[in-house]
Amino acid sequence: MQSELKNYISGKWTASSNGKTLVHRNPANLEEITGIWPASTREDASKAIEAAQKAFPMWSGLTVYKRAEYIKKAISAIVREREKIAGVITLENGKTYPESLAEVDSAIREMDYQVNEGLRMFGQIAPSATEGVFAYSKRFPLGVVSIISPWNFPFNVPGRKVTPALIAGNTCVLKPSSLTPQTGLKFVEAFIEAGLPEGVLNFVTGAGSTVGEELITNPAIKAISFTGSTGVGRGIHEKAAKILAKTQLEMGGKNPAVVLADADLVQAAKAVVTATFACAGQWCTSTSRLIVVKEAAEKMKELILAEVQKYVVGNGMNPASTMGTVCGTEQVKNILNYIEIGKREGATLAFGGERLQGSEYENGCFIQPTVFTNVTPDMTIAREEIFGPVLSVIEVENFDEAVKIANDVPFGLASSIFTTNLNKAMTFMEKADVGLAHVNIMTAHKEPQLSFGGVKESGFGLPEAGSTGIEFFTRHKTVYIKY
């Protein structure tokens, strides 16, 4: 059993003010307690906000180059601790160790890019219509910002949010998911090792109804960056409006992969299966719908099922495992419920669909990779986010119908089309109602130099990453000088 862990507020380790705790268990073995964490109160979150407020004048007063020095030292610490951090991610989240390593490496790239984006935090010089006037704009930090991070990418997402916030001169309060608090702690420890001044980055664990509520309603908060479900994101935006805080919401998805008859079907099948079952289908950008024209449908189903059968589900620390657990008992219940709904509504369960049993699995949250065929666009499993290892195969007559069905859901995060027809590829890029569109690449592909975010019920506000990552955490001031 791990010892009881604490919050990090104003450079000090502190327990929750009410003495209550949360127990975290390894999703691969629910008998293993991985940590006991503060079930913090709104008072604890308020103290973290006060600490960030106190630190803001000093931190924002540093040059961006000095702020960059601290963050670069934190990145170096992450590089040194890469394997240990990956082990913690697998312990808490359940994904395979190679997937956890890939997450840490992605965080390093994201953070490095945002540091350099901060060094390019240019204003704008514009000609004035008035003689003898020099006109320009300059960007400034907002103040104290809330970072509410998810359990599916518990290290990469804080890196993508906290780094641009800090390099821009803001101070932060980070609330990790209660399913992955130790991963959030490992992130903060890198900044502690870097010597980050007290109060600049604070860390508070606890429930959304207590800690989260304070982080979205306290008048001192100037911006909230959140990744999670659409329902929670809507609630955050409503409450943030009352304190005039900016919101950046990265929410759900129901991401389609469209496959046309002229595609390289072998390559398409591999990309679809990877994007569906990597991290047990718990990426925001995971493929959940395969929309395939009928003339290619039988071959695609054959290829998909052949790829799925290669998966070895098991403990993420076992090198033989190619798919780990889902992230907890609530996730198991939710995913199995959707599988039952799919069967009731008439979809054909072509593979999987069960919680794995037996000595290796009995204490864990293991679900088989699951494929449904004969899915129609109006079925629940074709419209609602399942957030698990479930693929729905939908057959269509032609390209136009594929585009219509791809867009006909409330979400708009990511999509892919697999084709060798340039006209149809470019048409799909124009018509896909999403924030990320791909041709012959899986739905989950992204790079740090470009923005990441969705439309419709998948995202709101300026997207993360790229140039908009730091833009969200700044305000503009325009200056006119008569000389």
Catalytic residue, candidates 250, 307, 457, 471:
250
Structure-derived torsion over alpha carbons of residues 37, 315, 387, 285, reported in degrees to the nearest 10: 100
Q: For Cα atoms 450, 108, 444, give the angle at the middle one, nearest 5 degrees.
A: 45
Which of 284, 327, 385, 395 is the catalytic position? 284
Residue 365 known to be catalytic: no
Q: 10 Å Cβ neighbour count for 481?
A: 10
- Name the burial class of residue 436, with classes exposed (0-12), middle (13-18) and buried (19+) by CB atoms within 10 angstroms of its CB: buried
The rounded distance, in Å, linking the Cα atoms of 255 and 409 is 9
Q: Does residue 172 carry a catalytic annotation? A: no
Handedness of CA 356, 361, 363, 364 (dihedral sign): negative
For tokens 């306290």, what's the residue?
218
Structure tokens at 22: 């949360």
Q: Taking a C-beta distance cutoff of 8 angstroms, is the pair 114, 467 a contact?
A: no
- Distance between first and last Cα of the chain: 69
CA R_g for the chain: 23
Residue type, 33: I
DSSP for 279-299 reads GGG-STT-EEEEEEEHHHHHH
Calculate ∠ Cα 164-165-167, nearest 5°: 60
- So which residues are the catalytic ones? 250, 284
